[in-house]
Amino acid sequence: MILPFFAQTMISAVGWRAGYLSLGGLAMLVGLPLTWRYVHERTPEHQSFHSAPQQGMTWQQGLRTFPFWIIVVVLFVSSVSMNGTITHLAALLTDRRISARGAALSASMLGGSSLLGRLAVGWILDRYFGARVAFVVYLITAGGILLLVHANTLLMGCAAAGLIGVGAGGEADITPYLLTRYFGLHAFSTLYGFTWTFYAIAGALGPIILGRTFDSTGSYTSLLTLLAGSMALAGALMLSLPRYTRPRKFVL
C-alpha cells in the first residue's frame, strides 16, 4: 500500500535509477537486520519429538488425482491473468491519460484490497465449502479485469485494481487450504511446491503475453476481455471439485 507512492515520489524527484536504489536499500536496511535477528536453526532442546503423525496422500498419489490437476489448471489461468494485468496496470492507466501518481494510487489500492481479501477469504474458508468460495473470488477478479478494460478514469482504475487485489489475496489462501483438505499434510509441501511451480511459469508468461499483444495491436482491450472470461471459466471449473471431509474440531 505504501511503496507505490514512495517509489513514484522518488522517481518524480530524482529519477527511476535513484528510485530503484532507494527500494533496494530499504529492503536491505529492513530485511537483513530482521533476518539476522530472527531466522536461525532450532537447537535440539527447542525441537518437538512428540509431534502428531501427518496423515494424507503421498505426492505421487496426489499427482494422480482429478482435484490436484483442477487446482493446477485454475491456478495457471489465474496467474497468467492476474500477474499479466498487475504488471501492466500502471502502463495501461498512464496510456489512458491517468497521471503517474494516479496509477500509483491504483497500485496502492490493489495492495490494500489484497490484504483485506486474504483476511476475509481465510475467515470465509473456515465456514464454507472452499470450491464455492474460490468460484466467487475468481468471479470478483474477472469483474476487476473486465472493469479495467473500460477504465478511463482514476476512479474506475482504483475500483478495478481493488477487485483484482481481492483475487490476488484470496488466491494465496485458497490453494494451500484446498491442498490440505484433499491431500492432507503428509506431502503437503511437495504438492504445494508443484502448484506454485506452475503458478510461477504462468506468472512469467502473463506479462510477456500482454506486452506483446499491446506492441502488436496498440491496445490491451481484446486480451483483457479474453483473460476476464478465462478467469470466470476457471472459477466455474472449481465447482467440479468433489466434497472434502471437514477437519475435526480440537478442544485445548
The tens digit of pLDDT for each residue in 88-98 reads 998 899 988 89
User: CA 200 to CA 152: how far, in whole Å?
Assistant: 30
Is residue 79 in a domain?
yes
14 and 131 co-located in one domain: no
- In this prediction, residue 19 has a pLDDT band, given cuts at 50, 70 and 90, of confident
Q: Which of 6-10, 211-215, 226-230 has the lowest mean pLDDT?
A: 6-10
Cell 532450532, located at residue: 42
- In this prediction, residue 46 has a pLDDT band, given cuts at 50, 70 and 90, of low
Residue 47 has pLDDT above 70, yes or no: no
Q: What is the CATH number of the domain that holds 168?
A: 1.20.1250.20
69 and 188 co-located in one domain: yes
Angle of helix 188-217 versus helix 221-238 axis, rounded to 10 = 160
Cβ–Cβ < 8 Å for 86, 110: yes
Is residue 214 in a domain?
yes
126 and 11 co-located in one domain: no
Is residue 47 in a domain?
no
- In this prediction, residue 79 has a pLDDT band, given cuts at 50, 70 and 90, of very high
pTM of the predicted model as reported, rounded to 2 decimal places: 0.81
Region of residue 142 (phi > 0: left; psi between -120 and 50: alpha; otherwise: beta): alpha
State which residues form the domain around 5: 1-33
Is residue 150 in a domain?
yes
Q: Which amino acid is at 89?
A: L
21 and 77 co-located in one domain: no
Query: What does pLDDT average to over the chain?
Result: 88
Number of domains in the chain: 2
DSSP-derived letter for residue 126 is: T
Is residue 122 in a domain?
yes
Question: What pLDDT, in 10s, does the model give residues 153-190?
Answer: 999 999 999 999 999 999 889 999 999 999 998 999 99
Is residue 244 in a domain?
no
128 and 227 co-located in one domain: yes
